[in-house]
Structure formats: structure tokens, C-alpha cells
Structure 1
């Protein structure tokens, strides 16, 4: 399995991990959906649309260097947390909005789901084709999203005693 952890990017601006330090990214669903209950208590889902919200938190040597970004416009976020798709088929369609500088990587689920085994993956367009592994019950492909988001910009902090810069960024997919 060939996996390279990409640096965070915002509108093409690279925030290198060795300088920015520890970065934690979270995804959460947002959208026009809700769970409703019928008279007998049965749950039903009503959904119109779904998008992702993401939160980034970092602490390290330097501030993020994002003061020149126009946060009133959508920005393109090159994510550092991979997302995954699982399938029983070794041919999996990937989202078009993914990073081109960090190749997808793949795992096969083997031994009745008790083990994961790295497997080579080739990508043509938006289709990932994984090498077939004997005895695999499922396949997982991981990719790094490229999200177009709206955000107010980062909340920044600095610990003068420890000389540690930190910031948090909340964003929602457009």
C-alpha cells in the first residue's frame, strides 16, 4: 500500500504539516434531513439534500498564514483526513472532488472480517480498480476530499509561554 499523508491546502496555499504541527480534521453530515415518528412510533427518514461540514484544529510552530484569503467567497479545501468507500466489488467509483496530489489507497477485508490487507489500486477517471485478493469479503478505497466550502476563517490563538500557535477552522460544503 502506497500512502502519502498530504499537507493541508486552502485555495492552493500549502500549510505544511512539519510547520503547522498537529492537525485534526473531523467531518459531519449537514443537510435537509430529519427523522420523523409515525403514530405508532415507527421512524421514517425525510431527506432533500446532504453535504459535509468539516472542522480543523491545529497546533504547532507557526500560525496558518491565511490572513490574505477572502473568506467571503468559497474556498477550496484540500483535506488531510481520508474518506473511504466499502464495496464487495473491487471496482469502486470515487467522487470527482478529490485531491490529485494524494493518490487513493486500498485495503481488502479478509479472514471473515478479522484482518485488513493492503492491495494495489489503479484509478482511471473516477473509477478505482483494486487488485483482487483471494478470500476477500469486501474492499475499501480511501481518498482525500477536495471540498469547496464557506467559512468565516480560522480562530487563531498563541501560547506565548510555550511558543505554540494554534487555530480552528469550521467550514461547510457549498
Structure 2
């Protein structure tokens, strides 16, 4: 099972990247898998060299191939201009519209006020509906006050992460079996991030 985290923030350090990392850590705890991560703070300049998929260079193609080859996506974005970031939109503009059919997706976002959390339902979820992906019911949203020095410190948000990951495994019967047996199986390690 290829698990991929995507942080749509174009800043480092990033609270969004931390949320994505925390979700991936929860998945790793259940499965023993190490997930790959694409950080758009690094990857966006590569992707912006192409306006269409047929213009991607080798480095850009590797990034898009990684997205298209994932079985599970954990996608996070800061709320920016009432939506996800333009860099994240550009990445998904380059993904083949058939590539994510039936893939499972966990959605996460960070924002300035609790009201910005509506972006997850009104902007983010429809994006993956277009691709035919299956988003888990529970989304993860956090504001600046939920962090201490870019580390998540709100137990309520941590509980939402655990609930979303549990729902993910409800949608992945084969993965759930693997999670139950991961102590007997050798640890599987996925590829390192391919953003350079």
C-alpha cells in the first residue's frame, strides 16, 4: 500500500505540513509503513515550470507519477483566499483525471479562524469528488492556537486525526488486515520523497 502525504503550504516551517505528518504517523503506527511526502514549498517551483502535463520535465513527472501511483493520499492545505492554495490546485491540474479513481483520501487544513474550516467541505472535498476518489468522512482542521511552536497541542484535533485514520481503515479492508498483522510482517518502507 503506497501512502502519500501532500502539504499544500508554500511556506516552511508549516503547520499544515505538521498536520499531514501527524496523520501519516498515525497510519504508520497502524501499519508499519513509512509514507512518502511531497511538500509544495519545495515541489511547487518544479511543477510551475509546466503549464500542462505534457510539458513536465523529468523532475516534475516524478512528482506527478508519485501522486498518481499512491493508494492513499493525505492532503493538507492552508486556507488561502477562501480555498486551498494555487500551488496545490496546479499540482492536481497536472494529475490525470482517471488516476485517482477509487483512491482513499484524508483531508486536512489549517486556517485563521474556525469558520475557515468550511473550506474542507465546500472546496476540498469536491475536488476529489471530481477525480472519483473516496474521501473519509472526518476532516481535520486546526487554527494557530492549536499549535505550540508548530507542534500540534490540541487533544481535540489529535482525536480527529485518530478518527479520520480509523475511518480510512474502515474503507480499506485489505489495509486493515495488514494493520492487524503488521507485527508478524517485515516492515515495509516506501520510497523517499521525490521532490528534487
TM over 0.5: no
Larger Rg: 1
TM-score by length of 1: 0.30
Between structures 1 and 2, the one with greater strand share? 1
Q: Greater helix percent: which structure?
A: 2
